[in-house]
Amino acid sequence: MKKIIVTGCNGQLGRAINQQYAGNTEYELVNTDVGELDITKVEDVLDFVREIKPYAIINCAAYTNVDKCEVDIDLAYKINAVGARNLAIASSDVHAKLMHVSTDYVFSGDVSLRPLTEFDTPAPKSMYGITKLAGENFVRDFAERFFIIRTAWLYGDGHNFAKTMLKLSETNDKIGVVMDQVGTPTSATELAKAIKYLLPTDNYGIFHGTCEGDTNWAEFAKEVFRLAGKKTEVEPITSQEYKRRFPASADRPAYSILENYMLKLTTDFSFATWQEALEVYMKEWLG
């Protein structure tokens, strides 16, 4: 069986990837998290990868706490940039493919007239975006065969926006949610399907991977409550108002709508709409 190393296996995407490959007789997943492999240490990564000799590495590991990235800058660079570099070096050393997961935060987030494609120029503003773009660049510099897939507004089996909203609804009749940030809620299951689709191919390069359609956070919350049968009222608020209520929060992109342009140009793979994917997720999660 071909071996695939999965880093960040306990995160939402890592779990979704394991579900996608469950029962697969062609591939064996070698799951790692920080306890098994510290991706920030190049010698550890090289030793581990040389021992496993994988067919591919799927890098789901990242420091994704946007607010803490503004403070823990060194740690953000170590995990998001240096960690990606180390996996790229190791993948080339054993001639393995590297699937690296990135983010919409590599773009400025300034309001655009159209969805952003892989041909648009990144210009991150937050430390999270800056460090993730540095990781992308290291992958491009050091990996022999790589896929970089950028996603946005990810939710799955773990801590996420939908679960946060439902938790808050237990003790609040009305919740203020930002309405001037737009993007595409993306199911970890849908992203894992895209990764599984691309990985066996030689269709290398940068891809955007989000569900189809777009919305804002307030409308996303309303859809979560509708599907859950909750009567909680959503109060649409501006980003400025949110910052007044939570002063320590980092700026979020106002515009995060990505177009899966390279997938459309080079494959017949398509994501579900964000509404379809959310309905599936809520049915599975709420039983």
Q: Which residues are catalytic?
A: 128
Helix or strand holding residue 21 (H, E): helix 12-21
Going by their DSSP bridges, the two strands 215-216 and 182-183 should be labelled as antiparallel
Rounded CA separation 203/153 (Å) = 25
Q: Which residues, at least 6 apart from 74, have a Cβ–Cβ distance to it below 8 Å?
A: none
Q: Cα–Cα distances in Å, from 105 out to 125, 188, 260?
A: 8, 17, 16
Select from 256, 259, 215 the least CA-distant residue to 223: 215
Tokens of 165: 């909203």
177 SS3 class:
strand
Secondary structure letter of residue 59 according to DSSP: E
